[in-house]
Structure 1
């Protein structure tokens, strides 16, 4: 539907367009992906620069997200990630009836930095299994993961993990059914270029940087993981009685 803006009203054209689109988003008339700049420019009878400024204002309000190379999308509700003692991200997705999977990108035996060894309670210089994966929810990458598992206990774990797409499921297949979160450390920071590209966001947009240590029933560390979550997609929930 073509729609003209009111010129000479004292309200800038881009602001009128911003408010029109914001209203359509709130009324659920606009869902998922916004029309491209050319189509919106034709609809409102303005140039693409005016449309771009209106869309940037919507992004600043948190109503849309701009994914490089893909387009502009209406911002969905945040995914709740409960940092409980026995919960993982996959458990939070299941409770919210969201389709999620972890896609292993690469894995290797590596000698990590001393901090990683300390988290896993192994001697500095000890080789571990490093797995790099992407957390994908409903087709969107929302997390970039680097996970470390002690060796030799986890030899072959990456093959199982890649096949099932879930650390929790892979642990179960290795007869590790009882485990808990020993540590969570959360910070915000700007992503590195590769991470920003994988998340489909600009490098200037902060991410949630979540570090976690899991231990087995005997208190022995089984995983130290770092997940870089898209800050516009995930919110963290703390429930003290469950931590």
Structure 2
């Protein structure tokens, strides 16, 4: 309930009330719309809009034109290390992560994939497309490319346990390390925006990585597009 005689502006009281509900996990994901909140607090929409703008300036919500207002979840630290993957960062933060395989296929490798994997121009690769899901939220779209014929049949191991390190071990590869990574930001394609439940105007964090085995043979080239409001890259001086 609002105290209309406290001397504190109504929008400020609403801001504080909504901030408490966000902190206590009462409000999650999409917020009620302005009309619903105006009815709830018995004020006009302008007052609600000012409260939401104040919450956005505090980093507690994000306002997406045409979609509504969403609670801003805590950022996930993705620690780029020689022997670490995204799954390791999730485990360290005690977050529930999983991969959902969308498709696997054998296809001709384009010029960039051939260059990254160090394979001939007429080579084929195993392509695995999957979603990275954290606490039931899709945070990334991942494309992994494995050289053939070495990885013929690898998809069976991956689909049975969608975790790259576990699948590699089951396939007989006990050692895997990051050879290089490239990080960039870009706007999503329409299909990516749909999979990540975001607008096409919200930038993605793109992480491209090359991995090698114990003999320094390149075994994987991966490209993951993370939603920019969920994942941040974490590096330490001694990481590499």
2:116 to 114, 119, 124: 119
In the alignment, does 2:166 pair up with 1:174? Answer: no
Q: What's the counterpart of residue 218 of structure 1? A: 215
1:68 Cα offset (Å): 10
Q: Decide which moves more: 58-67 or 92-101.
A: 58-67
Deviations 1:153-199 (A, max 9, x none): 11111222122111111011011111110010001111111111111
In the alignment, does 2:197 pair up with 1:197? Answer: no
In the comparison of the two structures, how many residue pairs are matched? 238
Is the contact between residue 31 and residue 71 of structure 2 (CA under 8 Å) also seen in structure 1? no
1:28 Cα offset (Å): 3.1
Measured at CA, do residues 18 and 218 of structure 1 come closer, stay the same or move farther in structure 2, by a change above 3 Å? farther
Is the contact between residue 68 and residue 201 of structure 1 (CA under 8 Å) also seen in structure 2? no
Measured at CA, do residues 54 and 109 of structure 1 come closer, stay the same or move farther in structure 2, by a change above 3 Å? farther
Question: For structure 1, which runs of at least 5 residues remain unmatched after alignment?
Answer: none
Is the contact between residue 179 and residue 217 of structure 1 (CA under 8 Å) also seen in structure 2? yes
In the alignment, does 2:234 pair up with 1:237? Answer: yes
Tell me how large the CA RMSD over aligned residues is.
Answer: 3.0
Measured at CA, do residues 89 and 67 of structure 1 come closer, stay the same or move farther in structure 2, by a change above 3 Å? farther
Question: For structure 2, which runs of at least 5 residues remain unmatched after alignment?
Answer: none
Deviations 1:3-45 (A, max 9, x none): 4879xx9x7x7x5477335542575374424552243121122
TM-score, scaled to structure 1: 0.85
Q: What's the counterpart of residue 100 of structure 1? A: 97
In the alignment, does 2:44 pair up with 1:75? Answer: no
Deviations 1:124-175 (A, max 9, x none): 1311011111000110000111110000111111222122111111011011
TM-score, scaled to structure 2: 0.85
2:182 and 2:169 map into 1 onto residues whose CA distance is 25
1:241 Cα offset (Å): 1.5
1:68 and 1:168 map into 2 onto residues whose CA distance is 40
Q: Residue 144 of structure 1 aligns to a residue in which SS?
A: strand
